[in-house]
Amino acid sequence: MIRKSSVSRHRGHSFSTPQGRGTGNASPVQGSNGTFDVVSVLDPASAGGGGPLARIETARSERQAQLTRSRSQSQSQSQAQTSSIAQLKKKDTQKDDGLDGGDAEKGDTYKRDAVLEEHENEHEHEHEVDEEAAAVAVEEHVYPDGGYGWVVLICCLTLAASTMGYNMNYSVFQENYANVIFPDEKTSVLGLGGSLCAFFMNFSAFMSGRVGDRYGFKRVLYASAFISWLGLFLASWSTKVWQILLTQGALSGFGFGLAMPLFMSLPSQWFYKRRGLASGIAIGGAGIGGGTSTLISRQLITSVGYRKTLLIFSFINLTAMTLATIFIKTRPTSPEAQRAPGTKSPWFDREVVRTSEFWSIASATFIGLLGYGMPYMLLTQYIRSVLPDLDSILIAVPPTLLGYMVAVGRALVGYVADLIGPLNTYILVYILSGIIQLALWYTAKTFAGVMAFSILFGLIAPGWSSLIPQIVVQLFGPNNLATNVGLILLSSAPGALINAPLGGALFDASGRTTFKYAIAFSGSAQVVGGILACWGE
């Protein structure tokens, strides 16, 4: 059984107590500067206010005052004990004329040992007080579980659709590149476009998590919107394979990844009771973006060509990401938004990296991603291979349906995680999605078979990413959440880089006659990833 509480497991972590929530009769619609604050209307917890929140704050203040007095007493006693030890050491160097030297030394040693023991007990008591303060801080923080949180959720969904979702349509471009634009190029080379995008998404996510925790989410999100637009805009002027790989692949992927750990961790600041469902809905936006962009891309490429299609998408993404960033709000008082006391936004938490649980999840993510990405990159080519006479409009249906199922599946997986725990769900997601590839994709020779695979794989497989923030909180605590999420995403970068070229190479090795070797490897990798994650329990 998975451990349910990160607080009980990580009692040594000290969470900062939320500040700034007054206990007076401040109006919930009035900001701190006297201006109207729409966030306070929808989220009274962020502004204090009366009623139940005032009672909660009063109780919290009383307990905090008691803890402060306990610390003050402990510090006073500690200073007194330190002074006593100093006096004993000084006395120990002197000789008492009225006592035997050996007896005096033994007496002083006995007194010094007693004082030292009492001093250690005081330190242990002070540590227990700090642990109690940490638990109180977590328990007393009021999560809105709604209010303006729904606006934030929609913003996160939009960002997921514009970043993670957009990369899901690369298979449409790849099919066009392979059959029309660059017919003599190897599949493994053309597949690098999607792989480079996924690799740089996860690589930049590692950096942006730390930068976002330190300098604020909005600055990083605006940078993400600009770099993403620049990559797609430059790709629309590309005429050679290396230019497409550099712009549509690496540069746009770097921009997409800057936003990932931020919109993945934001729902945890606003939702607690249904955190898994909220995260699933937010990151499920990738499915909406993937399904819609796949369908639109197919139509635009056929009518205006790939270059104008990229140009149109560049400005769509820029507009959507900018608007989402404008309306996003963070909750600085939440434990998930705070750094651990005494730290300075580390690139990685050494205490986290030293745990076997971290390496279990990191290795599972690396191996699992080797198989997860292949259906997205190869499905369109697969359909063209097994159903060569199928109408071009129908070819776009399974990838589009796969994208839309991601939105439903991530919300469903999040709901299951609320019931059985995120890590248990993470393990099931990998194992089941691997079995679906081996049982359904491997045997899909008809349009109905491809549709069945697309639906089931889309419902289950993509849920792994929405579980990462919850797993991080469960195993390592809420502090430095975006940083630690970025660290886990970094472990997926090599798998994301390798999967499409590896699948393309296996397809090329068969003489471009069958995908069975690629599918067998892809499904097996996901099953192995699920097994590796079991160590995290």
User: What are 31-89's pLDDT values in tens digits?
Assistant: 444 433 433 333 433 333 333 333 334 444 554 555 556 556 655 665 555 555 555 44
**pLDDT tens-digit profile of 382-420?**
888 888 888 877 887 888 888 788 878 877 888 888 888
Report yes or no: 162 and 289 within 8 Å, Cβ to Cβ.
Answer: yes
Map residue 396 onto helix, strand or coil: coil
Q: What is the pLDDT of residue 235?
A: 93
Q: Across residues 295-309, what is the average pLDDT?
A: 88
Highest-scoring range by mean pLDDT, 192-196, 226-230, 414-418: 226-230
Rounded Cα gap, residues 130 and 124, in angstroms: 10
Question: Which residue range is the domain that position 457 belongs to?
Answer: 141-335+350-534
Rounded Cα gap, residues 176 and 194, in angstroms: 13
Report DSSP letters for 151-216, one per residue.
HHHHHHHHHHHHTHHHHTTHHHHHHHIIIII-TTS-HHHHTHHHHHHHHHHHHHHHHHHHHHHHH-
**DSSP bridge partners of 36:** 30
Rounded Cα gap, residues 497 and 501, in angstroms: 8
Report DSSP letters for 88-126, one per residue.
HHHHHTS--TTS-HHHHHHHHHHHHHHHHHHHHHHHHHH
**pLDDT tens-digit profile of 316-372?**
999 999 999 999 887 766 665 555 444 455 566 677 778 888 888 888 988 988 888
Tokens of 33: 């500067």
Residue 433 pLDDT class (50, 70, 90 cuts): very high
Q: Which of 113, 191, 173 is nearest to 515 (CA)?
A: 191
Q: Across residues 214-229, what is the average pLDDT?
A: 88
Q: What is the pLDDT of residue 49?
A: 37
Decide if 311 is inside a domain. Answer: yes
Q: What is the pLDDT of residue 314?
A: 93
Residue 2 pLDDT class (50, 70, 90 cuts): very low
Q: What is the pLDDT of residue 230?
A: 95
Report yes or no: 148 and 39 within 8 Å, Cβ to Cβ.
Answer: yes
Q: What is the pLDDT of residue 337?
A: 58
Decide if 107 is inside a domain. Answer: no
Q: What is the pLDDT of residue 102?
A: 47
Residue identified by tokens 């998404």 is 201
Q: What is the pLDDT of residue 47?
A: 38
Report DSSP letters for 248-311, one per residue.
IIIIHHHHHHHHHHHHHHTHHHH-STTHHHHHHHHHTHHHHHHHHHHHHHHHHHHHH-HHHHHH
Decide if 85 is inside a domain. Answer: no
Decide if 47 is inside a domain. Answer: no
Q: What is the pLDDT of residue 330?
A: 78
Choice between 225 and 30, residue whose per-residue pLDDT is larger? 225
Q: What is the pLDDT of residue 344?
A: 54
Residues 6+ positions from 446 with CB-CB distance below 8 Å = 387
Q: Which of 462, 493, 522 is nearest to 161 (CA)?
A: 462
Q: Across residues 247-261, what is the average pLDDT?
A: 91
pLDDT of residue 311 exceeding 90: yes
Q: Which long-range contacts (CB under 8 A, 24 or more apart) does 77-82 make?
A: 77/122, 78/119, 78/122, 78/123, 78/126, 81/115, 81/118, 81/119, 81/122, 82/119
Q: What is the pLDDT of residue 317?
A: 92
Q: What is the pLDDT of residue 116?
A: 47
Q: Which long-range contacts (CB under 8 A, 24 or more apart) does 515-520 make?
A: 515/378, 515/381, 515/382, 515/385, 516/442, 518/374, 518/378, 519/374, 519/437, 519/438, 519/441, 519/442, 520/438, 520/442
pLDDT of residue 439 exceeding 90: yes
Q: What is the pLDDT of residue 525?
A: 93
Report yes or no: 286 and 160 within 8 Å, Cβ to Cβ.
Answer: yes
Residue 373 pLDDT class (50, 70, 90 cuts): confident
Choice between 163 and 39, residue whose per-residue pLDDT is larger? 163
Q: What is the pLDDT of residue 248?
A: 93
pLDDT of residue 443 exceeding 50: yes
Decide if 198 is inside a domain. Answer: yes
**pLDDT tens-digit profile of 144-160?**
777 888 888 899 999 99
Q: What is the pLDDT of residue 472?
A: 84
Q: What is the pLDDT of residue 224?
A: 93
Domain count, the chain: 1
Q: What is the pLDDT of residue 86?
A: 53
Residue 95 pLDDT class (50, 70, 90 cuts): very low
Rounded mean pLDDT of the chain?
A: 74
CATH, residue 387: 1.20.1250.20
**pLDDT tens-digit profile of 20-31?**
333 333 333 334
pLDDT of residue 171 exceeding 70: yes
Q: What is the pLDDT of residue 114?
A: 52
Decide if 360 is inside a domain. Answer: yes
Residues 6+ positions from 528 with CB-CB distance below 8 Å = 367, 368, 434
Decide if 60 is inside a domain. Answer: no
Decide if 172 is inside a domain. Answer: yes
Q: What is the pLDDT of residue 505?
A: 86
pLDDT of residue 185 exceeding 80: yes
Rounded Cα gap, residues 535 and 475, in angstroms: 12
Residue identified by tokens 């299951």 is 416
Tokens of 5: 């509480």
Q: Which amino acid is at 152?
A: V
pLDDT of residue 167 exceeding 80: no
Q: What is the pLDDT of residue 70?
A: 57
